[in-house]
A and B are shown apart, each in its own frame.
Chain A
Amino acid sequence: MATLPEVSAIEQAALRSDRFRLAREGDWKRLEAIVSRIEKGQLRRLSDEDVLALPVLYRTVASSLSIARETSLDSATLAYLESLTQRAWFQVYGPRQSLWTWLGRFLGGGWSAAVRAMSLDVAVALAVMVAGVAVGWLLVASDPEWYFSLVPGQFADARVPGASREVLQGTLFGNDGKDPMSAFAAYLFSNNAQVSILAFALGFAFGIPSLMLLVQNTATMGAMLWLYNGQGLLIDFAGWLAVHGTTELFAILLAGAAGLHIGRAMAFPGDKSLLQATAEAGRRASLVMAGVVLMLVVAAILEAFARQLIDNTAGRFTVGGFMLVFWLAYFFAFRGRNDGAASP
């Protein structure tokens, strides 16, 4: 009985295009209902039938739209079909990759492939960082006054030119009695992550500010290396730094390289259009950046816990060296499942 008035409505419609529409609007409304529920985040509550029907209905509605465009002048229906096709398109071709699958692919090869794809930028950033350390060292060696402009106040507490060997040694060792500083670790992470996001984002200005940020940060390190070298503590300081530094500096290196990668794509887009080249580089670089944040979590944990627990230089070098080898192997030797996943 229920279908009877519908049939008669179709027959009653005066226009052929309206009959076309009335015969198909059941499918349209069903698709609209499914899409609305997905948009509300109720994907799991959809029945299997509806989930299977989604791509089929999408194609039905898309073909209805093509036909309606050629045969109908009902602009309300056309606008409805356009909007419905668009909404369904966003769901059918949307980011239907769950966070977990994304993470699995990211760790299982996507990240390291993206890093390898920008090895030239990594090499440049590494050279810039080494140069930054050298500049910091040389500036302070020529005039110790430079130390105060290179090293921010928070590090220049007791660690100033002219400090005695005992004071400097005290800053490196003898903290093993203290509790692990988890709040400090969280602060370090948050701070470093913000700095490396900055190094990446500054790549937008053709990569030059990214490099300047790298130089500025490593010059501080160069100045402090000079300070400890003056008291014969260079190796101990390097060990103190290496525990977390191999991870943290590597992360900052990658962030700078990611920024440079974007800057380079903007300056030299090659055969592609500027926007296309920038977008491709941006996607690859953002993949690297997601990893950088992960590395900084590891670095902060190492800095706040491992450095307090291991109170001798040899042990610190072991941990730092292991982390360095681990990252290098992961990025450059590990090929994973999906090579070239940088732009999926």
Chain B
Amino acid sequence: MSAALPTRLRRSDRDRTMVTPEGIALPLTLASRGSRFGALALDLMFIGLLMILTTIALISIAGGTAALSDPSQHGPQIMHALEFLAVIWIAMMFLFRNAYFLFFELGPRGATPGKRITGVRIAARDGGRLTAEMVIARNLLRDIELFLPLVFIMSASDGGDSGAAGMAALAWFLIFAFFPFFNKDRLRAGDIIAGTWVVEAPKRKLEAAMSAQARVGAAASEAAVKYRFGDAELSVYGEYELQTLERVLRENRPDALRQVYEAICKKIGWTLGGGDEYAFLDAFYTQLRARLEAGMRMGKRKADKFAGNG
């Protein structure tokens, strides 16, 4: 398919393609393991913080209740109040542990706060709708992947008995922790069960059109007259080089402009003085793009400078 031609510069082994119901192939980038680990660490920190704050708040409420009332008169009532607080505490701990991930991943961003910060989100692997069942399934598995062995390791090291049981828990933990390293889509056990994966959630700003920027106008047409490239000179480069040139122009760094300028001059055999690199490169870019796009409309594409002029 011609859509397989590069639409971005760097391709990595994390690129996947998802086909929407409209039949448009959308590129997805799987989240890196580092960003997923970062997201998890952040989320655990948030959960821990929430738990500590809730506990402190409830303890201070309990302390206040006990201090305010006279135990000889309101004995049973105090007990009821304290018991009620205990119920709230247990329920909150259960919810923080199990519902935190569910709540956020079911939201419109499909990501917990940690995932938002690291710029990743979850998506259905088959390109379909992300359903509530998927989110539930992937997060229930978290229990054996993470919480169970962690609690086990902690209780083992707590009692000074860090022997066979601790080692077993550690091995268990490591097997699940390294799960994403042993399959090509970087799925953890919960993703396999749920049919989900974690992808990067890109957010790009629309940049100005190269050939219609404000500074273009009189100056550009002047440059276009000054630098007019022939067919032979433009035909040495392809789409890959065009994209590199576009990036260099957008970044607009003098030393990079200079290097590219010299490389192009050498390649096409022009000898010019310095000082006007940007106008030269802009003119070259516009004319190269016009040529390549005209070719595209005729069904001819040139991927890079090594490809023939088909």
Chain A contact residues, CB within 8 Å of chain B: 9-10, 12-18, 21-22, 25, 28-29, 32, 38-39, 41, 43, 59, 62-63, 65-66, 69-80, 82-87, 89-91, 93-95, 97, 99, 102, 179, 181-183, 185-187, 189-190, 193-194, 197-198, 200-202, 204, 262, 275-276, 278-287, 289-290, 343-344
Whose C-beta in chain A lies nearest to the C-beta of B283?
Answer: A14
The CA of A14 and the CA of B282, in the complex, are separated in Å by 12
Which residues of chain B from 103 to 131 have any CB-CB distance to chain A below 8 Å in the complex? 106-110, 121, 123, 125-126, 128-131
Known interface pairs A79-B8, A94-B108. Does A28 touch B206 (Cβ–Cβ under 8 Å)? yes
**Chain B interface category by residue count:** 35 or more
Query: Is A95 touching B106 in the complex (CB atoms < 8 A)?
Result: yes
Task: Tell me, rounded to whole Å, the shortest Cβ–Cβ distance linking B16 to chain A.
Answer: 12
Query: Is A39 touching B83 in the complex (CB atoms < 8 A)?
Result: no
Tell yes or no: B90 within 8 A of A by CB.
yes
Instruction: Please tell me which one of the listed residues B76, B87, B107, B135 contacts residue A182 in the complex, with CB atoms under 8 A apart.
Output: B87
Whose C-beta in chain A lies nearest to the C-beta of B288?
Answer: A73
Please list 16 pairs of residues, one from A and one from B, whose beta carbons are closer than 8 Å in the complex, sorted by A's number. A14-B211, A17-B293, A29-B206, A43-B108, A70-B2, A73-B243, A74-B209, A74-B210, A77-B209, A95-B129, A97-B131, A190-B90, A197-B143, A198-B144, A204-B141, A275-B192
- How many A-B contacts if CB must be within 8 Å? 227
Query: Is A289 touching B293 in the complex (CB atoms < 8 A)?
Result: no
The CA of A73 and the CA of B295, in the complex, are separated in Å by 11
User: From DSSP, what is the main secondary structure of chain A's interface residues?
Assistant: helix
Cβ proximity bits B143-180 to A, threshold 8 Å, 1 near / 0 not: 11100100000000000000000000000000000000
Known interface pairs A38-B108, A286-B140. Does A75 touch B7 (Cβ–Cβ under 8 Å)? yes
Whose C-beta in chain B lies nearest to the C-beta of A344?
Answer: B131
Query: Is B93 touching A190 in the complex (CB atoms < 8 A)?
Result: yes
* A102 cross-chain contacts in B, Cβ below 8 A: 132
Query: Is B83 touching A183 in the complex (CB atoms < 8 A)?
Result: yes
The CA of A262 and the CA of B27, in the complex, are separated in Å by 31
Please choose the segment from B18-26, B66-74, B226-234, B254-262 that sits at the chain A interface, where 4 or more of its residues have CB less than 8 A away: B18-26
Instruction: Please tell me which one of the listed residues B87, B90, B107, B212 contacts residue A18 in the complex, with CB atoms under 8 A apart.
Output: B212
Known interface pairs A65-B24, A80-B204, A204-B141. Does A283 touch B133 (Cβ–Cβ under 8 Å)? yes
The CA of A336 and the CA of B140, in the complex, are separated in Å by 26
Tell yes or no: B86 within 8 A of A by CB.
yes
Which residues of chain B from 274 to 310 have any CB-CB distance to chain A below 8 Å in the complex? 286, 289-290, 292-293, 296-297
Query: Is A286 touching B209 in the complex (CB atoms < 8 A)?
Result: no
* Leading 8 A-B pairs by shortest Cβ distance: A279-B195, A282-B193, A286-B137, A13-B212, A201-B144, A283-B133, A286-B136, A183-B86
